[in-house]
Chain A
Amino acid sequence: MNYAINEEGFYGEFGGAYIPEMLHSNIERLRLNYLDIINKPNFQKAFKSLLKDYVGRPTPLYLAKSLSEKYGCTIFLKREDLNHTGAHKINNTIGQILLAKELGKTRIIAETGAGQHGVATATACALMGLECIVYMGAIDIERQAPNVSRMKMLGAKVVPALSGSQTLKDATNEAIRDWINNPEDTFYIIGSVVGPHPYPDMVARFQAIISEEMLWQLEEATGQNYPDKIVACVGGGSNAAGAFYHYLNDERVELVAVEAAGHGIHSGESAATSVLGTKGIIHGSRTLLMQTKDGQIIEPYSISAGLDYPGIGPLHAHLIDTGRATAIAITDEEALDAAFMLAQIEGIIPALETAHAFAALDKMKIEKSDCIVVNLSGRGDKDLGTYIKRMK
């Protein structure tokens, strides 16, 4: 089985570009040029050099001794939380902003849920001297306040999305509408492996640095360049795509995608797309999404703004549909417990999104001989408000 994208931009039956004509010229230009641009030696040189000196890569692969002891196996943490700005999101924004510059664009727009992608975009724009507008659901603006301030301090304009559930889905709608209104000077930096082709593939390629490093880091640490299992949380799926990327066709490696179950998968307040979703189109991509039988998109719920999305990227829809990846759904409560557990036994406060990945360890069948990598996608500073409430 091959899990790579095909010529038409599909992973199996998922993917494609279902976009109104107003977006066609920009998406088509990107589709025709993205691989050529990304693969140019000069681009790679600039990208890798910024990742090293500005972002702080490679991120450590840390052998978590207490966690390993707790689960009776070997657990490594891929420390994406140690990137500049505190999450994996910046790998992608550095890549896309270099690409936007190549395309001659001067105005950058982005959507954000948890605010991590917004901060990473605002950071890249400040670095490159480009105008930055970030769309963020009104509810997320409230629950991720520290990130809103960070974006503003970095010089970005934060525009509240007031439609629908006022979360990530709606912020994405608003960013797409902005691009329709400003097709000439603007580039849309999407924050996950979602949206019309070529975005899912392009974002996956920029995040692939995560598993590229894992190959040699595991080799160094264990003498074997692959783990038995990789665990990552999935909102749209970019940190998971990056952690899975170089192991997609290596069936020795089990891929575990962790979704948000909110108050419970079937509580009516959930974002467990792989269970609740059916095939359809969201944000220009054919994938799995939560919808009514009339095709109206259902508003999701999760305590974690970055996982509060009614779809998943088409790559993950394909991995789950074919059985290549296993999906596990984690409730708000389970994620909160896992965040406190990790803080107290490893001294690492994870982002709420990432906490879902740690909670999944309780639900997995684990052998003593297992070598597991958990992708520690981000740090928890932005979620302190939620954690403080929990302590009371």
Chain B
Amino acid sequence: MKITESATENRLKTLFERKQENILNIYFTAGHPQLEDTAKIITALEKSGVDLVEVGMPYSDPLADGPTIQNSGAIALKNGMTLDILFQQLETVRQTSNIPMILMGYYNQVIQYGEITFFDRCQQIGIDGLILPDLPIEIYERDYKHLFEARNLRSTFLITPQTSVERIRRINALSSGFVYMVSSSSITGAKKGISEKQIAYFNKIKELNLDKPRLIGFGISDRETFSTACRFANGAIIGSAFIRLLENNLKDEVGEERQLKIEKIINDLVSNLKP
């Protein structure tokens, strides 16, 4: 087996060294709308200048996700997506793509695949980081931190408006990738606008002067919410809104035509986000 990349280079780290503002992270569910869209979407995201891609591993029971991501995961699973297929897809894209890439999924998926096998496979493919929202930080610190570090995988944990300052500092210390700021008390899914209350929370976190990069996610959907989030953090994450764009605009195009359509959807989104 070929081990890609040296043990020192991590694209996520390089990204945050190069760029501290307006970082655009796009989440999508692998294998949705069609099984073979994974590579097309990643290629198009990189081409359009998106900074970071978060690949969702479809799960049957995604507790932290709203209807859009739940539904996209159900479709991906119906399309036949498995972790083995996903890893193969990502391995192939990685040969021509250098975009920072992180995987997001649920802890049970990693346990069943076999933790060590899973992390090894990530390293071998050139995955830069992992987000497992239901992996408790205490268990990460005790059982997995050294395994992540040995494979140059970066960790990202979530904070919410309910997270205490003391715990935020602990999460910050354990997040070697970035701190994922959940924008409000909610599951994923695009909402309308950002409230005063959310602004107050963003400000509070900003003033903590954490030493790790922060990206704001959940409910970021358009130019306005993206630029507001970027005023208080290093960047933001768009998920459900992007998934809906794919669903609403993709039909049954195939091959080159489908690739071009995906590129157009992403280019339109990215240019819309520019101030």
Q: Spell out A's residues near B (CB within 8 Å).
A: 16-22, 24-26, 163-164, 169, 173, 176-177, 180-184, 278-284, 291-297
Contact = CB atoms under 8 A, between A and B. Distances in A.
23 contacts: A16-B136, A16-B139, A18-B134, A19-B63, A19-B136, A20-B158, A21-B163, A21-B171, A22-B160, A25-B162, A25-B164, A164-B60, A180-B63, A180-B187, A181-B186, A181-B187, A182-B185, A281-B106, A292-B112, A294-B82, A295-B109, A295-B112, A297-B60
Minimum-distance CB pairs A-B, first 7: A295-B112, A25-B162, A21-B158, A296-B60, A295-B109, A20-B133, A20-B64
B203 to A, nearest CB: 20
B232 interface: no
Given A169-B61, A296-B77, A284 B108 contact: no
Given A164-B60, A177-B187, A282-B61, A295 B133 contact: no
A284 B139 CA distance: 13
A20 B113 CA distance: 20
Contact of B108 (A22, A181, A281): A281
Contact of B186 (A19, A180, A295, A296): A180
A20 B59 CA distance: 15
A182 B160 CA distance: 13
B242 interface: no
B131 to A, nearest CB: 11
A22 B136 CA distance: 12
A25 B185 CA distance: 11
Contacts of A19: 63, 134, 136
Interface of B: 59-61, 63-64, 66, 70, 74, 77, 82-83, 106-113, 133-136, 139, 157-160, 162-164, 167, 171, 182, 185-187
Most buried by B among A284, A295, A297: A295
Contacts of A176: 63
B201 to A, nearest CB: 13
Contacts of A22: 64, 158, 160, 162, 182, 185-187
Given A22-B182, A291-B108, A177 B63 contact: yes
Contact of A291 (B112, B157, B167, B186): B112
Nearest to B164: A25
A293 B64 CA distance: 22
Contacts of B83: 294
Contact of B185 (A164, A173, A183): A183
B113 A295 contact: yes
Given A176-B63, A281-B134, A284-B134, 19 more contacts: A18-B107, A19-B63, A19-B136, A20-B133, A21-B159, A22-B162, A25-B160, A163-B70, A180-B186, A180-B187, A278-B112, A280-B108, A281-B106, A281-B108, A294-B112, A295-B110, A295-B113, A296-B59, A297-B60
A183 B187 CA distance: 11
A335 B59 CA distance: 33
A26 B162 CA distance: 9
A278 B111 CA distance: 11
A311 to B, nearest CB: 11
A281 B139 CA distance: 14
A291 B171 CA distance: 31
Contacts of A164: 60-61, 74
A262 to B, nearest CB: 19
Contacts of A292: 112
B108 A295 contact: yes
Nearest to B158: A21
B108 A17 contact: no
Given A19-B134, A295-B108, A183 B162 contact: yes
B109 A294 contact: yes
A22 B74 CA distance: 23
B182 A21 contact: yes
A281 B171 CA distance: 22
A337 B67 CA distance: 41
A309 to B, nearest CB: 12
B234 to A, nearest CB: 19
From B139, B163, B164, B185, residue with most partner A Cβ within 10 Å: B185
A292 B113 CA distance: 10
A41 B121 CA distance: 55
A295 B134 CA distance: 14
| Residue among B133, B171, B187 with most chain A CB within 10 A | B187
B243 to A, nearest CB: 16
Nearest to B70: A163
Nearest to A281: B108
Contacts of B136: 16-19
B12 to A, nearest CB: 20
